Structure 1
Amino acid sequence: MKNFNLSVAMLLFIGLSSLQAQERIPQVEALLEKMTLEEKIGQLNLLTPGGGVATGSVVSEDVEAKIKAGDVGGIFGVSSPDRVRQAQELAVKNSRLGIPLLIGSDVIHGYKSTVPIPLGLSSSWDMELIKETAKVAAKEATADGINWNFSPMVDISRDPRWGRVAEGAGEDAYLGSQVAIAMVEGYQQDDLRAPNTMMATVKHFALYGAAEGGRDYNRVDMSRNMMFNEYFPPYKAAVDAGVGSVMTSFNDVDGIPATGNKWLLTDILRERWGFDGFVVSDYTSVNEMVDHGMGDLQAVSAMALKAGLDMDMVGEGFLTTLKKSVEEGKVTEEEITTAARRILEAKHKLGLLDDPYRYSDASRPEKDILTKENRQLARHAATQSFVLLKRNDNNLPVSKTAKIALIGPLANDKFNMLGTWAPTGDRNLSIPVLEGFRNVAPNAQITYAKGANISNDTAFAKKVNVFGPRIEISDESPDQLLEEALKVAQASDVVVAVVGEASEMSGESANRTSIQIPESQKRLIRELVATKKPVVLVLMSGRPLDISEEMDMPVSILQAWHPGIEAGNAVADVVFGDVNPSGKLTMSWPRNVGQIPVYYGERTTGRPQATEEFQKFKSNYLDVQNSPLLPFGHGLSYTLFEYSKIKATSETLRPGSTVNISVTVTNVGDRAGKEVVQLYIHDKVRSITPPKKQLIAFEKIDLKPGESKTIEFPVTVEDLKFYNTDLEYVAEPGEFEFFVGGTSDCEMQGTFNLVE
């Protein structure tokens, strides 16, 4: 079978990128000529004086003295124009060559005007919206002096036990790639020297989301074929979008820690993909290679440098060992010079070598941070991220004149609204749901009761509360809390229960083997349902949960993730129907943890089970169905959409031509609404086992009641390519099925053939 190989354009791109990487910037070269070996090594050192949210137990010491000595290339954990100016003055006025610092930060989902967690934001399927949130985050962060962002995180993950699924875009390589592009373009825009843009960092390279057992920092083991087809695409998309830096991951790949993996950092990232920015380690990940079994600190530091790492975050292995390694012939000064050049080139791209204080304008914070417009965007983004998982008896939306029992441990809570990894946000400024309800429905009779603690387990709460109170256990007993809530529920027309995870029950080092709603809240939900009142669950979490029990109850369920600073207003907008929910899941939700990993794009097997009915000697379980509880792409609306007239313009696709797949979508309900139209394909025969379905296009449309729109998806050979066993990017002739609908479990609609 003949393959359609890498396009000439792609080959030219790779070659062009390599040439660009070899170009020299005179200003940088002039600095390198003046620099001592020690000063070059200093540029490779990234420190934090503390004060922010740490991702490790180490905080740098004597930072000021090291900056003055020229031993620091960048810092993080520092913000405000004045503090950043002071830090830059230490470097510019006190070090021998006056080289300014990179000022980094984790701006993961908004700066001060916090937006939904990334997994929630991805559920909007709205790339322009995602790009705009990144643009506003850059505007706010740069107003506070920050010029380098440790975002976006684009790790594909199919394991909701892993806490950091909250930071990514879910399970799919294509959707993840589109999100990666949108975020890089939003942060960097088209001019890194502009004072309102900042350099982005794609992370974590690579495969971090596939950690075994869903346990953070754990090993990863997968075929290279799976890497290239299912996990690498979002990283490459970010590189192709011009991302300025890449951060390594904590895990190993093929038995070699990513931070010291030459195949990853040089062979793939630089030589194959043409990346010409710089590579930074994650927090002390150089030092952690010692525990991986790679040698002592000197050995692993040399290993990382030679692999292609340019900057060491916090660990100071480069600072303390590289000179000795040069003297002993374990690394060369040329290798150190190359790394230093990349750091200096980044500073040149940001304009810091010309103006070290371009991010120290004291007038900007008041004008650019937490503006009315920024908060409005945060509120809008939250409403677009919510996913209506289930609608029971049309009890959503809720009437604004109803007598409402607002119940639950997250119903009048400020501290958990921002979500995990919001170190730059101010939780005291967040809008709790109770306040939002009163803002949006001032004529409703709203009575609040906590009803339950997030968890009654004090030992568990202590682990979750590392960064402050997230699970607060009431002085009242669980029985007293429940009794109060039931009284409020009985006196109401409708119950809205805001339940789920505390913000730090997901995120880094927040992995769970049980992903159910905590038992304290499950008890509350059961008792509220027993009142026979209409019940709406507003579910907050940083991951897919096992809600099999709740889905079987007569309740509506709105997944709100952790919505950000405007949480309460946004939840109220959707619950009361001012905004029609339009989010779609970007991770499949399992029936139980035993199904994990469960995802729509799994490969076909030799013994597939054709239906959900159990068949002996087929690939299945005795106790649950194969399908997820809620599939990728699932999301309901307050209206209904009908798909019709699905067709392909041709039964044949040739290189250089296009097959257009069209569909007419009609809003057959009585409310305006948005729908995400999704196109999937299945390659029926190819040289490696194909996935059952593969997302290749989508479009979010807005329809008035009775309105129809015809959507056309152009399909070319490029959309059908994959990496074969030789890791060649090819498309193979043959028959392709296509599927169009509002979820990944849509049915096959037709076929076309790719021919030579």
Structure 2
Amino acid sequence: MHIKLPRLAAMVGLLLTAASAVAQNTSVDSKAVTLVAKMTLPEKVAQVQSGAPAIPRLHIAAYDWWSEGLHGIARNGYATVFPQAIGLAASWDTQLLQQVGTTVSTEARAKFNAIGAGRDHARYDGLTIWSPNINIFRDPRWGRGQETYGEDPFLTGQLAVHFIHGIQGDDPDHPRAIATPKHFVVHSGPEAGRHGFDVDVSPHDLEATYLPAFRAAVTEGHADSVMCAYNALHGTPVCADNDLLATRLRRDWGFKGFVVSDCDAVDDMTKFHYFKPDNAQSSAASIQAGTDLDCGNAYADLLEAVNKGYLQESVIDTALTRLFTARYRLGEWGDDKSPYDGIGMDQVDSSKHRQLALLAALESIVLLKNENNTLPLQSGTRLAVIGPNADTLETLEANYHGTARAPVTPLAGLRERFGADHIRYAQGAPIAEGVPITIPETALHTASGSTGLTGEYFDHADFNGKPALTRTDRVVDFDWDQVTPIDGQHDGRYAVRWTGEWLPPGAGDYTLALHVDRCFDCNKQHDPVHLYVDGREVLDDNGDDSSMQTVLHVADTRSHTIRLEYVHSGQDQGIRLQWLAPEQAQLAKAEAAVRDADATVAFIGLSPDVEGEELKVDVPGFNGGDRTDIGLPPSQQAMLERAAAGGKPLIVVLMSGSAVALNWAKEHASAVVAAWYPGEEGGRAVARVLAGDYNPGGRLPVTFYRSTRDLPPFVSYAMKERTYRYFTGTPLYPFGYGLSYTHFAYAQPQLSTTKLDAGKTLTVSALVRNDGDRDGDEVVQVYLDAPDDALAPRHALVGFQRVHLRAKESRRVTFELAPRPLSHVDALGQRAVMAGHYRLFVGGGQPGYSEGVTAQFVIDGREALPR
């Protein structure tokens, strides 16, 4: 046997690297074991709770394990705010997801370094990022589906793998941060009852739909942490499920990291699942099953559990060893030189990161309809910009977000791109009946007649002395979570007084409201707010949320003096001055804007005020953060119809975290665009797409159904008639769908073989050509149709690539299909590559909904695959 020297050197290098990694891990594990052995039992119990206190005698700093980074480092001040996860998924771009993950962990490191290694790190200051959310978005009614990568297990898994790689970095011994895919497993609503529901899912659906993304996150993404969910699976709460955590996760998938519970999930086992009679026994069951860390304080009762014999202390030692191994690998103590020590605060929302946020927003936009080439719009077009999502901050940031330093709303983006003198704006409608929305700039004037209100900002928590800053604010719609509106003000205590004129657009009853983003776990010291109209106090809230709305009747359109006072003395996170205006007055304003324009752009959809995690909302169409109706709310539908009656081209831009049944818009609008919750650069991205500066290439990561009637019961986790894989009806817009300003054609499909031995890899390729006159991105998708089987999906995505092609350019796009994507799951949940005749479709979407080419092949034999 002869081995060439370069190859031999490479092999030796790989062996040395592997040996070094083993030695490093052994050293870190050894340090963790030694440290844990020095702790008392009460100290150990405190350290397996998410808010782990300092142990000065052992030189252990306090560390809170809870940090968020779903689409930007969250809840810790200024950060780059990317499109919400469902928007990132619409890009179908794995490399983009990796870049976003890298940015999230880089900004987390910057904030960590600003405090310093070896020092206490409070909640959201740490390097353990509880993201991504890779639950399957099985039903559009689920309010938290916006946090996911959509309905397909393969797409979700591949996006998760790359996001995790971005979060953790390239050095497994020194992760930049630790990613935590969640919520393991079978958890996607309803929000009501989420703390105690039991899922009795079939073995087939568990293996075919709910587990694959988590398996990929662990076996390919090498996630160093996993979060277990609130729900039970077949009667056992998943955070206490030994088969799931010890057998499937650790033995079958080789997971070496730590498991953290969803917040208060262990306490839920006692209070809602009635799994055990007290938290001592629920905690013992959880930690023995493999839940190492409790987000909450139920694990405080582990002391009782040990004393009463429910648990051996050595089990806590095992969990702590995993936890402190992670802390050592992150370099939390600063004992060793970290490769990330040089990351500074100058990298937080840097110009480079903002450009990436813009790119992410651009890539997320999906063109759904473009009748008669309505888009792109010509320069000089006079636009009526209407709709509740045209100028609101919350529909940029979504949920689990950081604070955007310079957010660009769609209204601002269109003014920037087309010129303010070419834009006529009217809000037109609220999001939904009974849901207040920010009072628009059109209804606010300063005393001097400028648009907006005069804001006086005081750098202390009262209104004494001279303001540190005076400026005009177009609207009162601010996210000040962990930031101050006054540059150079550091103690977090300030007061703001806004004054000016309120101009009702018509006579009628107006609901005036104040929305303060409350610190959810603050027991007291909420920020007081007071609202005065014509010198009379109409809202007085001293932090108890008792009177945040009032109804005023106005007889005409004369102006009224308005004064709003806000004192930031606690930990609340921002303020919005809102209203519900009479419907006809709003519609008349929209109609007037349309009358003076060449075309109308309507920003419609949902908002984080109505879809999200366990919200306190109960209005028609919405309940507790979930939806009861997937149609567009009636107030917005009325606005669209009134706008269309003017005869001008109508461009509908949907901003939401989930699919909306836009049946009327599909039939009557000139163009339809899905922009999701697009992040801090969202308005600029939408404007560039509408102007044709960027050719949209996003694809739907979820099915758009025509009606709520198309959906099975929300509480059922059976996959029959759910998602494109099993839905037998006709969708409004199918999963994988998206148009372009150019045209792509497919030809010359090629397979590496037409007769494949089970367990082998198949190569498939096709020639893709941009036939149009514009450069553009195509998302090349590969779908597998298996032999007839009642359990097999109608189509299954098995490969995808987003490729950029210049006008008239051709490229052969190739996919390597490993055995797992080619496999089948039987009724018992066993996965195997099965013999039979198969068909592959390569195209710009699903078979039957896009152009593409097909190829057929046969699999010989059977090959069982590992769990």
Superposition TM-score, scaled by structure 2 size: 0.73
Tell me which amino acid in the other structure corresponds to 2:847: D
**Structure 1 residue 109 corresponds to structure 2 residue 71:** yes
**Residue of structure 1 equivalent to 2:603:** 498
1:478 positional shift: 2.2
Per-residue CA deviations over 1:6-50 (Å, capped at 9, x if unaligned) read xxxxxxxxxxx9999999822112112212222221210113xxx
When residues 470 and 630 of structure 1 are mapped into structure 2, their CA distance, relative to the original with a 3 A threshold, is: farther
Contact 2:198 2:231 in 1 (8 A): yes
Contact 1:125 1:700 in 2 (8 A): yes
1:355 positional shift: 3.6
40, 43, 46: which one pairs with 1:42? 46
**Structure 1 residue 122 corresponds to structure 2 residue 89:** yes
**Residue of structure 2 equivalent to 1:79:** none
**Residue of structure 2 equivalent to 1:706:** 808
**Residue of structure 2 equivalent to 1:696:** 798
When residues 657 and 264 of structure 1 are mapped into structure 2, their CA distance, relative to the original with a 3 A threshold, is: closer
When residues 415 and 225 of structure 1 are mapped into structure 2, their CA distance, relative to the original with a 3 A threshold, is: closer
Distance 1:732 1:174 in 2: 19
1:685 positional shift: 4.9
When residues 633 and 199 of structure 1 are mapped into structure 2, their CA distance, relative to the original with a 3 A threshold, is: same
User: Structure 2 matches for 1:513-524, cutoff 5 A?
Assistant: 513-524=628-639
**Residue of structure 2 equivalent to 1:538:** 653
**Structure 1 residue 302 corresponds to structure 2 residue 269:** no
Contact 2:436 2:578 in 1 (8 A): no
User: Structure 2 matches for 1:62-81, cutoff 5 A?
Assistant: 72=52
Distance 2:653 2:670 in 1: 10
370, 376, 393: which one pairs with 1:414? 393
Distance 1:663 1:259 in 2: 45
1:631 positional shift: 0.8
1:728 positional shift: 4.1
Contact 2:514 2:578 in 1 (8 A): no
User: Structure 2 matches for 1:232-271, cutoff 5 A?
Assistant: 232-240=211-219, 241-271=221-251
Structure 1: tracts of 5 or more residues without a match: 1-16, 48-71, 74-90, 606-618
Distance 2:333 2:651 in 1: 56
Contact 2:746 2:853 in 1 (8 A): no
Structure 1 or 2: more strand by fraction: 2
Distance 1:491 1:728 in 2: 63
**Residue of structure 2 equivalent to 1:478:** 583
669, 682, 689: which one pairs with 1:554? 669
1:368 positional shift: 0.9
When residues 501 and 284 of structure 1 are mapped into structure 2, their CA distance, relative to the original with a 3 A threshold, is: same
Tell me which amino acid in the other structure corresponds to 1:270: R
**Structure 1 residue 165 corresponds to structure 2 residue 170:** no
648, 663, 680: which one pairs with 2:783? 680
When residues 581 and 748 of structure 1 are mapped into structure 2, their CA distance, relative to the original with a 3 A threshold, is: closer
Distance 1:465 1:677 in 2: 45
SS of alignment partner, residue 435 of structure 1: helix
**Structure 1 residue 634 corresponds to structure 2 residue 737:** yes
Distance 1:434 1:603 in 2: 40
**Structure 1 residue 584 corresponds to structure 2 residue 699:** yes
Contact 1:147 1:359 in 2 (8 A): no
User: Structure 2 matches for 1:432-447, cutoff 5 A?
Assistant: 432-442=409-419, 445-447=422-424
Structure 1 or 2: more helix by fraction: 1
When residues 132 and 658 of structure 1 are mapped into structure 2, their CA distance, relative to the original with a 3 A threshold, is: same
SS of alignment partner, residue 368 of structure 2: strand
**Residue of structure 2 equivalent to 1:61:** none
SS of alignment partner, residue 568 of structure 1: helix
**Residue of structure 2 equivalent to 1:575:** 690
**Residue of structure 2 equivalent to 1:5:** none
Tell me which amino acid in the other structure corresponds to 2:416: N
**Residue of structure 1 equivalent to 2:756:** 653
**Residue of structure 1 equivalent to 2:201:** 222
Contact 2:436 2:580 in 1 (8 A): no
Tell me which amino acid in the other structure corresponds to 1:199: I
When residues 20 and 631 of structure 1 are mapped into structure 2, their CA distance, relative to the original with a 3 A threshold, is: farther
1:741 positional shift: 1.6
**Structure 1 residue 317 corresponds to structure 2 residue 298:** yes
Tell me which amino acid in the other structure corresponds to 1:37: L
Tell me which amino acid in the other structure corresponds to 1:507: G
Tell me which amino acid in the other structure corresponds to 1:292: H
Tell me which amino acid in the other structure corresponds to 2:380: T
Distance 2:25 2:314 in 1: 16
User: Structure 2 matches for 1:67-466, cutoff 5 A?
Assistant: 72=52, 91=54, 94-98=56-60, 101=63, 103-111=65-73, 112-145=79-112, 146-191=126-171, 197-209=176-188, 211=189, 216-217=194-195, 218-240=197-219, 241-290=221-270, 291-294=272-275, 295-314=277-296, 316-319=297-300, 321-355=301-335, 365-422=344-401, 424-426=402-404, 429-442=406-419, 445-458=422-435
Tell me which amino acid in the other structure corresponds to 1:717: P
Contact 2:428 2:589 in 1 (8 A): yes
Contact 2:430 2:436 in 1 (8 A): no
Contact 2:111 2:345 in 1 (8 A): no
Question: What is the count of residue pairs matched by the alignment?
Answer: 672
When residues 470 and 496 of structure 1 are mapped into structure 2, their CA distance, relative to the original with a 3 A threshold, is: farther
Contact 2:395 2:655 in 1 (8 A): no
User: Structure 2 matches for 1:14-53, cutoff 5 A?
Assistant: 25-47=29-51
1:104 positional shift: 3.2
Contact 2:366 2:698 in 1 (8 A): yes
Task: Pick which of 28-37 and 115-124 moved more.
Answer: 28-37
Contact 2:204 2:829 in 1 (8 A): yes
Distance 1:464 1:669 in 2: 48
Contact 2:206 2:829 in 1 (8 A): no
Contact 2:383 2:599 in 1 (8 A): yes
Contact 1:537 1:558 in 2 (8 A): yes
1:410 positional shift: 1.6
SS of alignment partner, residue 580 of structure 1: coil
Per-residue CA deviations over 1:142-201 (Å, capped at 9, x if unaligned) read 211231101011111210111111011111111111011011100001236758x21111
Task: Pick which of 238-247 and 719-728 moved more.
Answer: 719-728
Distance 2:794 2:185 in 1: 25
Contact 2:191 2:626 in 1 (8 A): no
Distance 2:303 2:225 in 1: 25
Distance 2:183 2:131 in 1: 9
Contact 2:284 2:305 in 1 (8 A): yes
Contact 1:144 1:360 in 2 (8 A): no
When residues 576 and 731 of structure 1 are mapped into structure 2, their CA distance, relative to the original with a 3 A threshold, is: same
Distance 1:531 1:695 in 2: 43
When residues 627 and 408 of structure 1 are mapped into structure 2, their CA distance, relative to the original with a 3 A threshold, is: same
Contact 2:370 2:671 in 1 (8 A): yes
1:365 positional shift: 4.9
SS of alignment partner, residue 373 of structure 2: coil
When residues 41 and 708 of structure 1 are mapped into structure 2, their CA distance, relative to the original with a 3 A threshold, is: same
1:503 positional shift: 2.4
1:655 positional shift: 4.9
Structure 2: tracts of 5 or more residues without a match: 1-20, 74-78, 113-125, 438-510, 519-572, 615-624, 862-867
Contact 2:143 2:191 in 1 (8 A): no
Tell me which amino acid in the other structure corresponds to 1:141: A
Contact 1:598 1:628 in 2 (8 A): no
Which protein is bigger by CA-based radius of gyration? 2
**Residue of structure 1 equivalent to 2:770:** 667
What RMSD, in angstroms, separates the aligned Cα atoms of the two structures? 3.2
1:516 positional shift: 2.2
Tell me which amino acid in the other structure corresponds to 1:352: E
When residues 309 and 541 of structure 1 are mapped into structure 2, their CA distance, relative to the original with a 3 A threshold, is: same
**Residue of structure 1 equivalent to 2:15:** none
1:110 positional shift: 1.1
SS of alignment partner, residue 301 of structure 1: helix
